Amino acid sequence: MTRPVIFLTSLMLLLGGCQSSPPPTRDYLLPSARQVSQAPERIQVQLAGYLDSGAMVLELSDTRLYQARQHRWAEPLADQIRRALDVQLTAQGIRLADYPALVVQITAFQGTPDGQARLRAHWRCGEKEGRVDWQQALPEDGYDALVGTLDQGVAEMARQLAAALQG
Q: How far apart are CA 162 and CA 113, in angstroms?
A: 31
Range of the domain at 156: 25-166
pLDDT in the model for residue 103: 97
Structural domain includes residue 67: yes
166 φ/ψ angles, rounded to the nearest 5 degrees: -85, -20
Total of domains in the chain: 1
Structural domain includes residue 20: no
- Report whether pLDDT(2) > 50: no
Asked if 136 contacts 49 with a C-beta cutoff of 8 angstroms, the reply is: no
pLDDT in tens, 104-145: 999 999 999 999 999 999 999 999 999 999 999 999 999 999
pTM across the whole model: 0.85
Structural domain includes residue 129: yes
Structural domain includes residue 16: no
Structural domain includes residue 1: no
Q: What is the mean pLDDT of the chain?
A: 88
- Report whether pLDDT(98) > 60: yes
Structural domain includes residue 145: yes
Q: How much of the chain is helix, strand and coil, in % rounded to 5?
A: 45, 30, 25
Q: Which of 103, 89, 57 is nearest to 157 (CA)?
A: 89
* Enclosing H/E stretch for 150: helix 143-166
Least confident of 92-96, 102-106, 146-150: 92-96
Q: Which of 147, 130, 129 is nearest to 139 (CA)?
A: 147
Q: In CATH, what number is assigned to the domain containing residue 144?
A: 3.40.50.10610
Instruction: Provide mean pLDDT across the span 31-43.
Output: 82
